[in-house]
Structure 1
């Protein structure tokens, strides 16, 4: 008995020693990248980060208005939603890696690599000849976008103190909004006058130029380790199990109920494999990984931090849903052209950019973030609820006001919650906090898009089944495959056209109800968040560290 106790104590001691060594290495890695710059150098580097983030969001949002045209050209009316889902799956899968990867290697060269991946596969999208080629290429674009989104925010966190970070992250958030604004407008201009393919041809040289700008302007930081030491510190097991879990969970969630039955052996086996892999990932991160990609202590250090991180999953469901389904409303239900739909989206993205800058200033000047976050969730929740006023004949006020509220809510949440999360964690975790936060947001976005796609397809199919007196059975079967197409109504009677528009709108409203529940959870959960100022845990008093 005594020998067993001694062995248990020895193992516990060894585990604690290993954990302490891991924390020391994490501190060393994080400190090697800390590089507070002079005002002049800061503005130069910050400008390069802003350009990179802007380019990433132009790419992410441009496809939203192009989907009906791409679907028609590639004969993918029934599967085109996978273009968005594939991108988000790969983004989520690799975002798990980027935070710790950038700690171990150079932030600068990981960012350059991601920009090059984005540029090359944007070009490949322009050459895609089949839907499956497009989905694969968009998946690789998702890897590049995930890296750019994470690394720009990590580098800004390296070069700016936490007290000033609200201001700069707020400005960075405004470039997210500007990218969201310009992406659809650029894509619709290419669609109207050239081709959606030409848009992706254009993105290639711009991506190469952005990588060159980063190479010349951003300082090079790295830990003083040999390549062998760096490779030994990568959490290979964690990345493997997280990747399997994400892929095997999101694929059936994306296709269940539409492409295959929820009770099919394929769906069940995928979900089981994904669930087991997810549990293995948590075990590896907790017990095995020397430098876990997502330290699980982020979710146990403070209730406020846990809540701030988990909120990202639910607002990711809404945020990415807005990006893809607002254009759907304008183009499919309101019958707007791509350019007119893009102009209407300015009512969403311009308030987002403006609010992001204002809220960043408020956080830096007051030293607190809680009021900004409360405002964001209240405005966003109200805006989503008002989407129920939308319809084929809704006046412009009923359309624009919800967009403005949603945009201002996103602007007050997107970057301010990042500053809040970093204020609730240790300095050494600043990169992994960003990684965890972005992973949860992207994972929520992927799940949200998958659920929304299933809701749209099933609701549309159910509504069509009620149109037996207006359409033949063969016509109904054909229409079910047109759920994501900008269907020409010229060949239909007035009653048939009105029925189809109502089918699209009623399907979309079911998605709005789903968003209401998601964003309301974020609003209610914000009650437990405690604002203790803009200091990382390392610099807070013992009393504040426990709250």
Structure 2
């Protein structure tokens, strides 16, 4: 394919030189400015000029100078921290929320409602970001997220709270996807590993700060402040993003852009998420597995999937998920790994605080502090691996070691459930973090490296869609197993109905059960927690086995850049000279 090279650094010239990248390279001599030799595209400080979406996506990505990249990355990092903090802070508050609304048996639905809406609009956010621009789309996502957080804080019933968490999920889905997409716009594929490692570290920090902050609010003030605090973060994040992040704005008529969106595909993608995740959570908990509602939802999921695939393949002019992506071996494998990673990671995040509060009799704040080793492992491993990926251009070895260590860590959780020794807690959680932490930077870099530039936003959105789908399945499946084992255990132990109902409806009220029965109930809770850990082991094992199907794609080294002034002279260089300027990088 031929590329046209502008002759000026800031605006296209009527006269352009057409150069074949297979046979030639471009040598541009100047005093200021720069040009990417691989792509022939000039770099410019005027990053917010209006261009068509096609023109923007046609450009190769090169890492910006640090003076431009650092403030832009700060804006993205703050946005990610705000959304990630919401996840960790809520998990600590859920036991108290369930108690206040007398609905502890519905706390898993809080996460399910969030995940369903998080996933439902993933494809739409990816497409919106291409046609409306990254910044405009991420601002919409932030506003929806903050609105959902405020309404969650003022909720007066579990039903209202579930609806508000669903609204929050719509905004959070956009924040997570668009942050990954913006980083990909700012940083070359080779350098992306270390920056994704920094983002993973932000997740670790938020997962550390969130439970502690949430525990302090729950114990000292009110669980509602776990949501009101997001207003303060938004007051800092929105101006930072607006000022620091400079990206091109696609031009064009808004109405034409809206008509070009794959609305039908978005609809089928959304209802498929509902029909898969909701019955998985309701079954064995609020409804029997053989109830008409659960069976009907599962039955409707099958035609919804086929309808979505048909619309994308035959009907949509601009599909949110192009069918050819399903033929890409790496894309399919990495999305599958993401499912089981979501199952594994979120089971730990969701159930470990409950374990420490109920089994170890810790306060919400103390339970949050006990999670420090897990987050420390994620922080250390994600940063080290991110730097190694950027240095050597290889990601597959770290996906292999990460999934393997994660399996070992989950198996060790069975030891965790049999002891209250703090040293054991630290070791087990740290091992889990060291394994899972390696996957955060590697998986997103791997899937972005497996597709062309025009599909980058799509696979970034799918990356989050499949991980959160796995999260929803993991929490829902393990929640059903936990509740079923708890209910049957209470019946077998002949626990009086009044105490059994108290244990099932409000886990925090176990301390109010009289001695004699309380010890029995706590032992049943411990056995139920072991069931959760046992069910998580095959999830982690499948994640490990899938790594053997990955094909390695070497990440290209950063191409050398030479200066160019506003009226640069173009010299067409022969192949021999080109090889001297740009050493060949084999994939």
Partner of 1:331: 357
* Divergent runs of 4+, >4 A: 25-29, 32-36, 541-544
Relative to the length of structure 1, the TM-score reads 0.89
In structure 2, C-alpha distance between the alignment counterparts of 1:34 and 1:130, rounded to whole Å: 48
Give the corresponding residue for 1:104. 131
1:173 to 184, 188, 200: 200
**What residue is the counterpart of 1:489 in the other structure?**
511
2:312 alignment partner in structure 1: 285
Partner of 2:223: 196
In the aligned structure 2, how far is the partner of 1:131 from the partner of 1:378?
Answer: 39
C-alpha spacing 1:148/1:322, structure 2 compared with 1 (3 Å): same
Higher radius of gyration, 1 or 2: 2
- Aligned pair partner of 1:519 in 512, 519, 540: 540
Q: Structure 1 residue aligned with 2:389, among 363, 369, 375?
A: 363
Q: Which moved more, 1:266-275 or 1:82-91?
A: 266-275
2:402 maps to 1:376: yes
CA distance in structure 2 between the partners assigned to 1:225 and 1:185 by the alignment: 47
Aligned partners of 1:423 and 1:535 also within 8 Å: no
Which residue number corresponds to residue 344 of structure 1? 370
Contact 2:60 2:453 in 1 (8 A): no
**Residue of 338, 363, 366 corresponding to 1:312:** 338
1:136 and 2:163 aligned:
yes
Q: Which range moves more in the overlay, 373-382 or 200-209?
A: 200-209
Structure 2: how far apart are the matches of 1:228 and 1:265? 43
2:245 is matched with 218
Deviation for aligned residue 1:474 = 4.3
Preserved contact between residue 113 and residue 166 of structure 2 (Cα < 8 Å): yes
- Which residue is 2:454 aligned to? 428
Give 1:477 shift. 4.1
For 2:178, which of 135, 151, 156 is the aligned residue?
151
Cross-structure match for 1:394: 420
Counterparts of 1:26 and 1:438 in 2: how far apart (Å)? 23
Alpha-carbon contact 2:394-2:555 (below 8 Å) kept: yes
Task: Give the structure with the larger strand fraction.
Answer: 2
> In the alignment, is the contact (CA less than 8 A) between 1:167 and 1:364 conserved in 2?
yes
Residue of structure 1 aligned with 2:430, choices 404, 417, 431 = 404
Q: Does residue 476 of the first structure (1) align with residue 490 of the second (2)?
A: no
Contact 1:105–1:223, Cα closer than 8 Å, also in 2: yes
SS of 2:105 mapped into structure 1: coil
Asked if structure 1 preserves the Cα contact closer than 8 Å seen for 2:104 and 2:504, the reply is: no
Q: Using the alignment, how far apart are the partners of 1:32 and 1:262 within structure 2?
A: 51
Higher RCO (C-alpha 8 Å, min separation 6): 2
Instruction: For structure 2, list consecutive stretches of 5 or more residues without a partner in the other structure.
Output: 1-51, 558-581
Select which of 86, 95, 113 maps to 2:140: 113
C-alpha separation between the residues in 2 aligned to 1:100 and 1:29? 14
Distance 1:425 1:492 in 2: 61
Distance 2:500 2:354 in 1: 21
- 1:26 Cα deviation after fit: 7.8
Q: Distance in 2 between matches of 1:119 and 1:459?
A: 37
Identify the residue that residue 277 of structure 2 maps to in structure 1.
250
Equivalent residue number for residue 502 of structure 1:
523
Question: What is the aligned partner in structure 1 of residue 483 from structure 2?
Answer: 457
Tell me by how many angstroms 1:532 deviates: 2.5
* Distance in 2, Cα, partners of 1:489 & 1:429: 54
Q: RMSD between aligned alpha carbons?
A: 2.2
Deviations 1:346-366 (A, max 9, x none): 111122112111111000011
Cα deviation code 1:394-431 (max 9, x no counterpart): 31232221210111112100121110111221121111
Deviations 1:32-81 (A, max 9, x none): 79575322111110011111111111111101111111111122222122
Counterpart in 2 of 1:43?
Answer: 70
Count how many residue pairs are aligned between Structure 1 and Structure 2: 512
Given that 2:502 and 2:510 are in contact with CA atoms closer than 8 Å, whether structure 1 keeps it comes out as no
How far does the alpha carbon of each residue in 1:10-31 deviate from its partner, in whole angstroms, 9 at most, with x for none? xxxxxxxxxxxxxxx9854623
CA distance, structure 2, for counterparts of residue 144 and residue 449 of structure 1: 21
- Give the counterpart of 1:185 among 207, 212, 218: 212
Q: From the superposition, tell whether residues 289 and 29 of structure 1 become closer, same or farther in structure 2 (CA, over 3 Å).
A: farther
Aligned residue for 2:250, secondary structure, equals coil
Change (3 A) 1:543 1:200: closer
